[in-house]
């Protein structure tokens, strides 16, 4: 992460009004902002104010962590808060040493905009500043885990992109109570090198050697020993390792894509990554999704001829390591986009690490198909880089032997 500090003139541009976001349902509008036909605009606002509030009675929401801030004695935020009305920042003296979060609650804050979209150009020097400025449009929340020290520790370690449960005490004030899914997107916000790397997949080969975890090497060895992958090249297996790293961190019963109880296909379970219980749609090493009509989880259910309505049967199959291996191997072998490469150790015109990276990007694009998995996007590039680094590390070890 870059150690550069924001220049004072940039900090000054973050106006105090941005430190006091209004509630999602509040509307502040000035006469000067009404154009063309002010009366029609006012009539429409009055009419919408009497519409049914679909969030009435709802207290818990899923929030996305945008920033984690220190409010300890002497911090800038603590200093600013001393000039603002009580509770504007959700700060409490009895919790002064704990961090507070800026969170986006998609269900409530859609109108404010997504700060992750079109964040910065990789060549921009203002990436961190622009992101922070957008974050200050959203509310602040303190931790309230009701004395559960383990949960407080988990929340204190949560980084940008983590999903948390936000309990809204009223329409203007809420607290973060639980970590749902751990993530860390801070390097894409603050690290210029990582941002530049996400601009194009061609940067993968020049990224240099990255130290990959022992878990990654161990998982590769598991795939290499599995009968389902006996005909797969080493580079294709490294691509699968890289994607499993991003999807589940090699946890066989990892659960993701948390949903509300209204999602009929979601399965109530514990997330093997953090122990959080919830209604999840995606499971396993490669996060097979069972909720949409067309998704890899549904293909999995059909492949093993499972009863989709028997959630226990489906869940037990989804977290079964051998079944995951068998399905993914079959799925790759059955798709034309992968068939030319399954047994090919090096793609024509590419070195071994470039080939592993290429396969990782291919799998991210056509199998995982996540929102940032398309060519040139962050998740696609991250997986390519990891696969290339794994190749270099394993080949280096084999040469030393």
Kindly tell me if the per-residue pLDDT of 2 is higher than 90.
Answer: no
β-pairing verdict for 267-270 and 277-283: antiparallel
- Rounded to whole angstroms, the Cα distance separating 72 from 24 reads 28
The b-or-e profile of 366-389 (16+ CB within 10 A means b, else e) is: ebbebebbeeebbbbbbbbbbbbb
**Pair 1, 190: CB distance under 8 Å:** yes
Average pLDDT over residues 245-264: 89
| pLDDT tier at 14, thresholds 50, 70, 90 | very low
Digit-coded pLDDT (tens) for 204-231: 433 444 445 678 899 999 999 999 999 9
Model pLDDT, residue 90: 44
Distances (CA, A) of 176 to 70, 184, 256, 275: 15, 17, 19, 17
| pLDDT tier at 361, thresholds 50, 70, 90 | very high
Average pLDDT over residues 184-189: 70
- Rounded to whole angstroms, the Cα distance separating 106 from 62 reads 8
The b-or-e profile of 66-99 (16+ CB within 10 A means b, else e) is: bbbbebeeeeebbeebeeeeeebbbbeeebeebb
Kindly tell me if the per-residue pLDDT of 129 is higher than 90.
Answer: no
Q: CA end-to-end span of the chain, whole Å?
A: 35
Task: Say how many C-beta atoms besides its own lie within 10 A of residue 277's C-beta.
Answer: 12
The better pLDDT of the pair 52, 356 is held by: 356
**Pair 250, 215: CB distance under 8 Å:** yes
Domain ranges of the chain: 8-190, 200-400
Model pLDDT, residue 79: 47
Kindly tell me if the per-residue pLDDT of 196 is higher than 60.
Answer: no
| pLDDT tier at 70, thresholds 50, 70, 90 | low
Model pLDDT, residue 259: 87
Q: Which CATH architecture has domain 200-400?
A: Orthogonal Bundle (1.10)
Model pLDDT, residue 210: 46
Task: Say how many C-beta atoms besides its own lie within 10 A of residue 48's C-beta.
Answer: 9
Distances (CA, A) of 3 to 7, 190, 385: 12, 9, 23
**Pair 248, 284: CB distance under 8 Å:** yes
- Rounded to whole angstroms, the Cα distance separating 293 from 265 reads 10
- Residue 123 DSSP class: T
Kindly tell me if the per-residue pLDDT of 16 is higher than 50.
Answer: no
Question: Across the strands, what pairs with 167?
Answer: 60, 175
- Rounded to whole angstroms, the Cα distance separating 325 from 286 reads 10
Helices of type H across 4-75: 8-13, 38-49
- Rounded to whole angstroms, the Cα distance separating 177 from 289 reads 27
| pLDDT tier at 376, thresholds 50, 70, 90 | confident
Digit-coded pLDDT (tens) for 286-322: 999 999 988 999 999 999 999 999 999 999 999 999 9
Average pLDDT over residues 256-271: 88
**Pair 283, 263: CB distance under 8 Å:** no
Cα–Cα nearest to 128, from 181, 185, 72, 192? 192
Model pLDDT, residue 143: 85
Is the entire prediction scored with pTM above 0.75? no
User: What distance lies between CA 195 and its chain's CA centroid?
Assistant: 16
- Rounded to whole angstroms, the Cα distance separating 52 from 242 reads 47
- Residue 212 DSSP class: -
């Amino acid at each position: 992460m870059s150690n550069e500090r924001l220049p004072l003139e940039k900090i000054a541009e973050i106006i105090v009004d941005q430190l006091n976001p209004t509630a999602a349902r509040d509307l502040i509008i000035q006469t000067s902002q009404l154009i063309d036909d002010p009366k029609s605009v006012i009539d429409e606002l009055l009419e919408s104010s009497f519409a049914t509030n679909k969030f009435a009675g709802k207290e818990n929401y899923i929030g996305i962590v945008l920033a984690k801030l220190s409010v300890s004695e002497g911090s800038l935020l603590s200093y600013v808060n001393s000039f603002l009305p009580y509770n504007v920042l959700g700060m409490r003296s009895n919790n002064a040493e704990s961090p507070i979060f800026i969170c986006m609650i998609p269900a409530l804050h859609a109108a404010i905009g997504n700060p992750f979209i079109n964040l910065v150009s990789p060549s921009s020097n203002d990436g961190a500043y622009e992101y922070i400025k957008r974050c200050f449009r959203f509310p602040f929340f303190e931790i309230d885990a009701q004395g559960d020290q383990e949960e407080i520790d988990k929340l204190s370690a949560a980084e940008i992109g983590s999903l948390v449960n936000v309990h809204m005490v009223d329409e203007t004030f809420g607290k973060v109570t639980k970590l749902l899914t751990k993530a860390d997107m801070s390097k894409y916000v603050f690290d210029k090198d990582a941002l530049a790397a996400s601009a194009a997949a061609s940067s993968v080969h020049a990224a240099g050697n990255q130290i990959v975890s022992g878990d990654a090497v161990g998982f590769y060895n598991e795939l290499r020993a599995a009968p389902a992958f006996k005909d797969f090249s080493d580079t294709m297996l490294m691509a699968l390792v890289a994607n499993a790293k991003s999807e589940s961190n090699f946890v066989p019963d990892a659960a993701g894509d948390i949903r509300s109880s209204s999602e009929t296909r979601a399965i109530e379970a514990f997330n093997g990554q953090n122990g959080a219980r919830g209604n999840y749609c995606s499971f396993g090493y490669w996060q097979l999704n069972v909720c949409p009509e067309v998704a890899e989880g549904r293909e999995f259910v059909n492949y093993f001829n499972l009863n989709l309505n028997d959630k226990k049967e489906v869940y037990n199959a989804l977290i079964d390591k051998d079944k995951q291996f068998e399905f993914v191997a079959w799925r790759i072998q059955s798709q034309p986009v992968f068939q030319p490469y399954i047994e090919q150790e090096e793609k024509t015109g590419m070195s071994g690490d470039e080939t592993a990276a290429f396969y990782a990007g291919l799998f991210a694009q056509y199998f995982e198909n996540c929102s940032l998995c398309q060519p040139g996007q962050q998740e696609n590039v991250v997986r390519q880089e990891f696969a290339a680094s794994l190749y270099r590390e394993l080949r280096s070890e084999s040469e030393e032997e």
